[in-house]
Structure 1
């Protein structure tokens, strides 16, 4: 006996009405809604409800707003049109990954808009799929899927300009940020695709035959506009590395935990670059790192400003705040004389209200000397006493801006720590108003971080 002919699509739904029908179509998803629209006029009308497509836009693509927009932010007639346009642009990627990358860029731009609008203006419009393909053809290898999507939504930051004055203005505006100590200044920008291609090819030409050039499919994704600091994405396995001072010999350090990288996962692939940028965003959002002023320019400072990486202490009204360190593998003194780790550290001093000693308030106090104890694996490797800090003797008064200074220290390896004290004199060094006193510097760690920026 022959089997009965199959029922046409949507035959059982013809009996449903109102909310029940809307709920079924919504749960069926966008592709099934398109199929149902072909079954009958009634189902076509139900499946064409723009409120339904607004929900599909939100659930599948993370498009949450009152107006339907295309990927470039231009208005469209309906959410159904928006869904179609977005799928034409990004349907070749897993939708959960599209939503994740889109949300990352939206969140970063929101933070920059509120906290660092100067840097927001340096972000480029995303590239097309054709531009990605052209870059891959030029390089001779494929980019990881998450990296492709990152650049589809935003093509990094503005490239270097031939105008020297413009470069000086742009240099501190890296969205990754950096640090300064002595004459060593780092500020990392996320490179645009065209710069990545040119610098990657130049990188292989420069290091032809040397250790690092033997590693194929490396991509230079971020660089510092000051002292050299280079981040390289291995497009074979999705790992992100930072070059050390001996980069030409192939010395690189992983920037993200390897266990998190899934470059070929079909549902939610994630490479080192995506994980690195997401962690950076988390640190910006939770206040672990913030913007600081250097001379007349603002920049993202990578010195941590929250526990446990940052410590603070108060002694007699003098506050040592945000004592913290940053790993600096690119420093010239790194990896020399047995010192495999170089750390930059930042110390900030202030008198929030008043300097008080023995129940007596003083209108000011001045730093006279410092005492540092640096440990490596519980061994004291440096115990230093000296006058001033970086040749200065800061005078602190209540309510004034913090005195900030940065320095550095090498270690044979990780982990380590720094602690110590400052000697202050009430009043001024030229006219002391009381006995000198010690201000404690709470120990802060020197550790090889899981994420290197």
Structure 2
């Protein structure tokens, strides 16, 4: 009798484990035996992992639940109106971004707001007379953007640097993009409503830079994400995600989710890194990995170079220079190969530069001049990297740059040998597939 009872419990356990969490909850109401079998928390642990990707009994805000069964119930009640694969996909996207931030930029985590409720999202949709794509709704159920205080006037540069999407700076142009909370989405969209007077496009502002010169718009009618150009006042925008990807799986993804997923992959691959400048940390969008970032070493002088597309300064209506780019050059003197004419270099100073820019393989600019941004950096062995950013624009969306820096061993005041050229390996200056 005991053996038969054990067999029955095993059979019921196997049945429940195979039907999934939603059906298991329904079956547990049919009999006492099924209800007892459903008390086994290991079954619900497997359901939590399979349906929601959680390996600990937590709700979607990260709060602990008394059991996996209770956790599953909470998740089910919170997301029953959405396809479970899409919920898990959004959760994985946020997990990837948060895990990277936890290891590399923990200050960023404190700016991510608790997820919005269904009623809060519904209320916002009614106020704005739009319907968010499913994926966007789930994104905001997990994280309601970033906490922003006085967004229009970022007097605290430390706060301004905490943009989730990061940015770049060159000369007096500084960008750092924050993912907006629902309240700021409404406010910024209303402020920029003049861009869409026909109301044919259901565009809402999803992200913006700290100094309000870079905006990202989600078109709720076609699920595409756009970024404003230098002609934003005329309504000019560019798609941020390849159109074919947005349309590949209707109702199961949108451009905002694809954009955040790709961004998370870039972070984990080391494409974008946290840079510290004058004691201020921020995510830099200048690429750090090959092939978008190139590295050359000449007589111990290491030069790393990469470029980023700057949409807010681009003019797609221009007949000459449509596409605007900023490039970042990082140079230092390393101990590896720092030999010139048989002598070990302990220092060297930059004297001049030679740049060659190409568009579609054709040379469009050949420049030689002294210094870089008016400076003559002096490099020491294994010393700090000298970094400078500049900019260029071109008619073509596809181009490249290369060249050389002329260095004097020792220093300009006290040369220790003949000048030499340090290579700048060719790096792409091209429109990216995804625009961040």
TM-score interval, smaller chain: over 0.9
Q: Which residue of 2 aligns with 1:3?
A: none
| Maintained 8 Å contact 2:298/2:422 | yes
Q: Which residue of 2 aligns with 1:256?
A: 241
| Maintained 8 Å contact 1:160/1:167 | no
Whether 1:338 and 2:320 are equivalent positions in the alignment is yes
Whether 1:232 and 2:223 are equivalent positions in the alignment is no
* Distance across 1 between alignment mates of 2:151 and 2:221: 34
Q: 1:281 offset after TM fit, Å?
A: 0.5
| Maintained 8 Å contact 2:152/2:211 | no
* Distance across 1 between alignment mates of 2:151 and 2:421: 51
* Distance across 1 between alignment mates of 2:154 and 2:250: 45
Q: 1:15 offset after TM fit, Å?
A: 9.6
Q: What's the CA shift string for 1:180-220, capped at 9, x where partnerless?
A: 1111111111011110011111111x4364xxx65420010
> Which of 94, 104, 113 is 2:93 aligned to?
104
Whether 1:423 and 2:403 are equivalent positions in the alignment is no
Q: Secondary structure at the match of 1:428?
A: coil
| Maintained 8 Å contact 2:357/2:400 | yes
> Which of 50, 53, 75 is 2:41 aligned to?
50
Q: 1:334 offset after TM fit, Å?
A: 7.4
Cα gap change, 1:152/1:221 in structure 2, threshold over 3 Å: closer, same or farther? same
Q: Which residue of 1 aligns with 2:309?
A: 327
Cα gap change, 1:264/1:419 in structure 2, threshold over 3 Å: closer, same or farther? closer
Moved more, 121-130 or 56-65: 56-65
Q: What's the CA shift string for 1:113-156, capped at 9, x where partnerless?
A: 11001111111000100000000010011111100100010011
> Which of 240, 258, 261 is 1:278 aligned to?
261
Whether 1:435 and 2:426 are equivalent positions in the alignment is no
Q: Which residue of 2 aligns with 1:113?
A: 102
The aligned runs of 1:438-453 (5 Å cut-off) are: 438-453=421-436
Whether 1:144 and 2:127 are equivalent positions in the alignment is no
| Maintained 8 Å contact 1:334/1:342 | no
Q: Secondary structure at the match of 1:236?
A: coil
Q: Secondary structure at the match of 1:413?
A: coil
Q: 1:240 offset after TM fit, Å?
A: 0.5
Q: Which residue of 2 aligns with 1:8?
A: none
Q: Which residue of 1 aligns with 2:71?
A: 82
Q: Which residue of 1 aligns with 2:189?
A: 200
Q: What's the CA shift string for 1:72-119, capped at 9, x where partnerless?
A: 333222221211111111110001111111121122111111100111
Moved more, 102-111 or 442-451: 102-111
| Maintained 8 Å contact 2:152/2:210 | no
Whether 1:368 and 2:351 are equivalent positions in the alignment is yes
Q: Which residue of 2 aligns with 1:396?
A: 379
Q: Which residue of 1 aligns with 2:12?
A: 21
Cα gap change, 1:100/1:162 in structure 2, threshold over 3 Å: closer, same or farther? closer
Q: Secondary structure at the match of 2:66?
A: coil
| Maintained 8 Å contact 1:311/1:444 | yes
* Distance across 2 between alignment mates of 1:15 and 1:446: 68
Cα gap change, 1:53/1:370 in structure 2, threshold over 3 Å: closer, same or farther? same
Q: 1:164 offset after TM fit, Å?
A: 5.9
Q: Secondary structure at the match of 1:284?
A: helix
| Maintained 8 Å contact 1:185/1:227 | no
Q: 1:258 offset after TM fit, Å?
A: 1.0
Q: 1:62 offset after TM fit, Å?
A: 1.3
Q: Which residue of 2 aligns with 1:73?
A: 62
* Distance across 2 between alignment mates of 1:41 and 1:333: 70
Q: What's the CA shift string for 1:213-254, capped at 9, x where partnerless?
A: 654200100000125011111100100111100012221111
| Maintained 8 Å contact 1:127/1:152 | yes
Q: Secondary structure at the match of 2:410?
A: strand
List alignment gaps of at least 5 residues for structure 2: none
Q: Which residue of 1 aligns with 2:52?
A: 61
| Maintained 8 Å contact 1:348/1:402 | yes
Q: Secondary structure at the match of 1:400?
A: coil
Whether 1:40 and 2:28 are equivalent positions in the alignment is no
CA-based RMSD of the aligned residues comes to: 2.0
> Which of 281, 290, 304 is 1:298 aligned to?
281
* Distance across 2 between alignment mates of 1:249 and 1:135: 26
How many residues of Structure 1 are paired with residues of Structure 2 in the alignment? 432
Q: Secondary structure at the match of 1:76?
A: coil
* Distance across 2 between alignment mates of 1:225 and 1:35: 50
Task: Give the TM-score, by structure 2 length.
Answer: 0.94
Q: Which residue of 2 aligns with 1:241?
A: 226
* Distance across 1 between alignment mates of 2:249 and 2:92: 21
Task: Give the TM-score, by structure 1 length.
Answer: 0.91
Q: Which residue of 2 aligns with 1:6?
A: none
